[in-house]
């Protein structure tokens, strides 16, 4: 039987992993919805209106399920981690309160957007969609403030989360990652429709909007990743060392790609080293010194193998998506030069379908890096995870109950999204 600490950690991991998907969709899908409606207002093409309607319904559905999983998380913070909440509740409460205001604003304007198609002027309706997009992004940014304080705490007043040096790098990286993930997921849905024989403008334009947003975000994520890596190097050196399985402090440190980590022997086998890559990443200097895990007591080290593997997975997914986006847009630019619109090659469509979940894989891997890389601390160097957990013995039972809840929510969501996709396609054919 699981002990309370293991069960509590497992429950939070499942809850966060589930909720993270809806957070990303809540940030990015409303923006795609606004782009589609804006293009409809500019061009008058009915396909853009149909896309906006379909994405609005998907946004509301995912918003509702995300609200359930987010509420569960708020209960879990108090039930599973009472000592953490006793220490940090007054500090992070302000960020969560502001996030609540953003959440309610988003809910109100989702209602206006859904029921205002024929009741508001076109410009007022589009403006309501913009508020949905802004408030959804604000929710994610404000939640990141609370987590950033846990990563690099600065004070204990309600404004402390917003003074954490990790807040803006984390928030920026998370928001951009959401646009990458959702844009590629949308593009993959319409690429799959093309593989099944759909060639109409609804499918083409849906895929183009998704991949345009995804490509821009993927390029921006390169700069965001650079800023985030340097912020981690400055404020969480143990996490950086774990990300790169960097055991021994040195100069001109290579960037390790892959490899098998042996934390007991402080070594990595079979990794591919990129000369001076880590020094360049954290200091923009190929000769810079980078502190290793030899400066961290063994009892304070993160789980190096897990963090390094998750970091490699995150970066690998990001680079794969960047390559697929480049392939798609090179093909599109070639068609534009020839002044013709051809179907993308089937191999490219298959690549888009296969890569469509990689953005969400990267998000999950990135949050493993963020959370596991902070261990063994709940609040970095102030409160250990083993000291933050509840002493109650019923946690394994609640863990099982929450797993059942999330499985049921996930199954219901899949069924509803399939029905929504079918209706959206039928509406597009009839338009």
Q: Which residue has the higher pLDDT, 334 or 238?
A: 238
How would you class 47 by CB atoms within 10 Å of its CB: exposed for 0-12, middle for 13-18, buried for 19 or more?
buried
Contacts of 248 (CB under 8 A, 6+ apart): 266, 292, 294
Q: pLDDT by residue (tens digit) across 393-409?
A: 777 788 887 788 788 87
pLDDT at 431: 46
- Mean pLDDT over 79-84 rounds to 88
Instruction: Please give the Cα distance from 399 to 13 (Å, whole number).
Output: 10
Q: Does the structure show a pLDDT above 50 at 302?
A: yes
Lowest mean pLDDT among 135-144, 178-187, 192-201: 192-201
Residue 254 has pLDDT above 80, yes or no: yes
| Residue 79: burial class (beta carbons within 10 Å; 0-12, 13-18, 19+) | middle
Compute CA 302 distance to the chain's CA centroid, rounded to the nearest angstrom.
22
pLDDT at 421: 65
430, pLDDT greater than 60: no
Q: Average pLDDT of 401-422? A: 76
User: Residue 201's pLDDT is what?
Assistant: 87
User: What phi and psi values does residue 377 have, to the nearest 5 degrees?
Assistant: -105, 140
- The helix (run of H) or strand (run of E) holding residue 253 is none
Across the chain, what does the average pLDDT equal?
Answer: 88
The pLDDT of residue 305 is 92
- Domain borders along the chain are 23-67+83-244+292-392+407-430
Average pLDDT over residues 381-403: 84
The proportion of the chain whose per-residue pLDDT surpasses 90, expressed as a percent, equals 59
User: What is the DSSP annotation of 24-75?
Assistant: HHHHHHHHHHHHHHHHHHHH--HHHHHHHHHHHHHHHHHHHHHHHHHHHHHH
Please report the pLDDT score of residue 425 as a whole number: 56
Question: Both tokens of residue 403?
Answer: 């797993």
pTM metric for this prediction = 0.91
Q: How far apart are CA 179 and CA 24, in angstroms?
A: 8
The residue-averaged pLDDT of 187-212 equals 90
Instruction: Give which of 281, 289, 296 is closest to 238, Cα–Cα.
Output: 296
Contact by Cβ (8 Å): 106, 63: yes
Q: Is the pLDDT of residue 340 over 80?
A: no
**Does residue 161 carry a pLDDT above 90?**
yes
Q: Tell me which DSSP letter residue 294 carries.
A: G
Place of tokens 């200091």: 283
The pairs formed by 79-82 with CB atoms below 8 angstroms and a separation of 24 or more are 79/390, 79/398, 80/8, 80/11, 80/12, 80/389, 80/390, 80/395, 80/398, 81/8, 81/378, 81/388, 81/389, 81/390, 82/390
Q: List b or e across 203-222, with b for residues whose CB sees 16 or more CB atoms inside 10 angstroms.
A: bbbbbbbbbbbbbebbebbe
- Give the pLDDT of residue 61: 84
The dihedral built from the CA positions of residue 282, 288, 290 and 295, taken in this order, carries a sign that is: negative
| Per-residue pLDDT at 90 exceeds 80 | yes
Which of the four pLDDT bands, split at 50, 70 and 90, describes residue 428? low
pLDDT bracket for residue 243 (50, 70, 90): very high
Q: How many CA atoms lie within 13 A of 56 on its CB side?
A: 27
Closest CA to 87 of 3, 162, 167, 150: 150
Q: What is the pLDDT of residue 173?
A: 94
């Amino acid at each position: 039987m699981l002990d309370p600490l293991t069960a509590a950690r497992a429950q939070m991991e499942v809850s966060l992993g589930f909720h993270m998907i809806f957070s990303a969709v809540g940030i990015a899908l409303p923006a795609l919805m606004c782009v589609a409606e804006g293009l409809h207002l500019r061009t008058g093409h009915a396909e853009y209106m149909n896309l906006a309607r379909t994405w609005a319904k998907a946004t509301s559905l995912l918003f509702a399920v995300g609200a359930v999983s987010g509420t569960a998380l708020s209960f879990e913070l108090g039930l599973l981690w009472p000592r953490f909440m006793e220490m940090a509740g007054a500090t992070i409460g302000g960020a969560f309160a502001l996030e609540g205001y953003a959440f309610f604003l988003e809910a109100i304007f989702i209602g206006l957007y859904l029921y205002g198609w024929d009741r508001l002027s076109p410009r007022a309706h589009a403006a309501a969609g913009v508020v949905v997009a802004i408030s959804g992004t604000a929710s994610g940014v404000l939640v990141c403030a609370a987590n950033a304080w846990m990563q690099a705490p600065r004070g204990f007043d309600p404004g402390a989360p917003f003074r954490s040096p990790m807040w803006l790098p984390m928030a920026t990286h998370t928001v951009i990652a959401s646009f990458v993930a959702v844009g590629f997921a949308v593009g993959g849905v319409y690429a799959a429709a093309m593989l099944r024989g759909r060639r109409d403008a609804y499918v083409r334009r849906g895929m183009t909007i998704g991949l345009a947003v995804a490509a821009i975000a993927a390029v921006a994520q390169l700069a965001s990743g650079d800023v985030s890596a340097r912020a981690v190097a400055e404020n969480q050196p143990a996490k950086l060392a774990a990300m790169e399985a960097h055991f021994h402090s040195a100069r001109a440190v290579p960037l390790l790609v892959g490899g098998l980590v042996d934390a007991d022997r402080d070594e990595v086998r079979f990794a591919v080293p990129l000369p001076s890559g880590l020094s360049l990443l954290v200091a923009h200097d190929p000769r810079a010194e980078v502190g290793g895990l030899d400066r961290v007591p063994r009892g304070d080290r993160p789980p190096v193998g897990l963090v390094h593997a998750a970091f490699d997975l995150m970066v690998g997914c990001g680079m794969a998506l960047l390559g697929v986006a480049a392939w798609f847009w090179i093909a599109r630019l070639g068609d534009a030069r020839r002044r013709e619109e051809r179907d993308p090659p089937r191999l490219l469509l298959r690549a888009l379908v296969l890569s469509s979940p990689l953005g969400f894989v990267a998000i999950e891997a990135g949050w493993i890096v963020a959370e596991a890389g902070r261990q063994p601390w709940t609040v970095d160097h102030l409160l250990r995870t083993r000291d933050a957990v509840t002493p109650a013995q019923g946690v394994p039972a609640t863990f099982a109950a929450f797993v059942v809840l999330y499985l049921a929510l996930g199954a219901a969501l899949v069924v509803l999204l399939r029905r929504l996709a079918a209706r959206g396609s039928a509406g597009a054919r009839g338009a």
